[in-house]
Amino acid sequence: MSTASRLPGIVTTDHVFHLPLDHAVPQGERIDVYAREVVAAGREDDDLPWLLFLQGGPGGKAGRPLGRDGWLVRALDDFRVLLLDQRGTGRSTPATRQTLARRGGPQAQADYLASFRADAIVRDAELIRRLLLGEDRRWSLLGQSFGGFCALTYLSLAPEGLREVFVTGGLAGLRSSADDVYRSAYPRVRGKNEAHYARYPGDVEAVRRIAAHLADAPATLPDGALLTVEAFQALGMMLGSGTGSHVLHYLLEEAWVEGPAGPELSDTFLAEAQAKLSFAQNPLYAVLHESIYGQRSVDPAGTAWAAERVRKEFPGFDARAALASEAPVLLTGEMIYPWMFETDPALRPLAETAQLLAERTDWPDLYSPERLAANEVPVAAAVYHDDMYVDTADSLATARAVRGLQPWITNEWEHDGLRVSGGKVLDRLIGMARGKL
């Protein structure tokens, strides 16, 4: 049963759909998939076109609107918006250490989670489209980051459901292996480190001091997680957003207090580090992260902890070696490592499950280069020139491979441009897709 709520400038309606876990077995097990409909206040009864929003991730629930803000400022001029909690997230049937334990051992859990990739998300969306709009009415699609990866899968599997597509920071390499992804990612992350240290030169020593302390004596975070030097390096994930470098600097400013036995890491620093590093709220991000790149045609041996393996090709990210020299300690980025399933209490029960997914070799291909080359759906994509998370060269190659796709290459925004631009990024893409720019 749908329920409606009023917030400043908007009306929201809850929808819950009971969908197949495995779309190849429609009569088998079912899961709930939740979506929140958002419409401008006063337009609830208007016959508006629909815009499906696919969140970044994987494993992230859709944003919770507090009113007509962010990119909704622009979207609600034209659309009735559907914010999808992709399967396993938010108010959809959850997939966490608590719920997965009920499914049995690691193999049963891994088999279950194999149905949580972009292809299943797209098939969920197609069923929801037909239920909400009817068989013949198409909707528009906005995909942010991983949501853009899903948009490419949608264009490959079911373009007949799409009226137009907008992608922000999410043009994946169609035939890039997980190794390829990380081999191009580490140099981008190194560049973000260099830019941060140029902006805040004092942070070179601040990071070295914390890393040296943790190399000798890892700290315990408030939730019981272990803050090793490698876990500390993972705070570099922040460097990919528009304000992340500044947030990191402020975090480092308050790292130390004078304790009874001398300087020690402050409770403030440890609590904020936990908030940045814990996967308690989105465990699927860690468990499924490398599998979003898995395709039989490019990863026949599985993804096999690609970020960890490829890291060895970039010795500059070895914090202990940096501490033994005068080199800056480099922070890492959007990488998932097997040790995270040892240090994070939210992930620890899923370690064997994650290992089985890393070893899986039968991932179906997610994109159809042939269908994309014949694409007839208008597509406009923002490609952020300095994007830390998605390789620009991959994005531009994909833009050339999708017939009719119009790329907008910009360094005005970082990866979070959709969220922070107040609707400007979406407005430009709408204009491009409709031939007005």
Residue 2 confidence (pLDDT) above 80: no
Q: Catalytic site residue 203?
A: no
Using CA atoms, how far apart are residues 305 and 295, in angstroms rounded to an integer?
15
| Tens-digit pLDDT profile for residues 320-347 | 999 999 899 999 999 999 999 999 999 9
N residues, the chain: 437
Known catalytic residue at 246: no
pLDDT exceeds cutoff 80 at 395: yes
Q: Strand locations in 199-261, DSSP E?
A: 219-220, 226-227, 256-259
Percent of residues, the chain, with pLDDT higher than 90: 97
Supply the pLDDT for residue 3.
77
Q: Angle formed by the axes of helices 244-253 and 203-216, to 10°? A: 60
Averaged pLDDT for residues 240-249: 96
Residue with tokens 């137009």: 164
Catalytic residue among 140, 415, 416, 427: 415
**pLDDT (tens digit per residue) in 102-137:** 999 999 999 999 999 999 999 999 999 999 999 999
| pLDDT exceeds 90 at position 437 | no
- What distance in Å separates the CA atoms of residue 420 and residue 410, rounded to the nearest whole number? 15
Of 140, 145, 241, 245, which is the active-site residue? 145
Closest CA to 363 of 153, 62, 186: 153
415 belongs to the catalytic site = yes
Instruction: Compute the mean pLDDT over every residue in the chain, rounded to the nearest whole number.
Output: 96
Question: From the CB of residue 436, how many other CB atoms can be counted at a distance below 10 Å?
Answer: 8
**Residue in 77, 12, 10, 11 with CA at minimum distance from that of residue 48:** 77
Q: How far apart are CA 259 and CA 256, in angstroms?
A: 9
pTM (predicted TM-score): 0.96
Buried (b) or exposed (e) across 167-205, using 16+ Cβ within 10 A?
bbbbbbbbbbbbbbbbbbbbebbbebbeebbeebeebbe
Tell me the CB-side half-sphere exposure of residue 327, using CA atoms within 13 A. 16
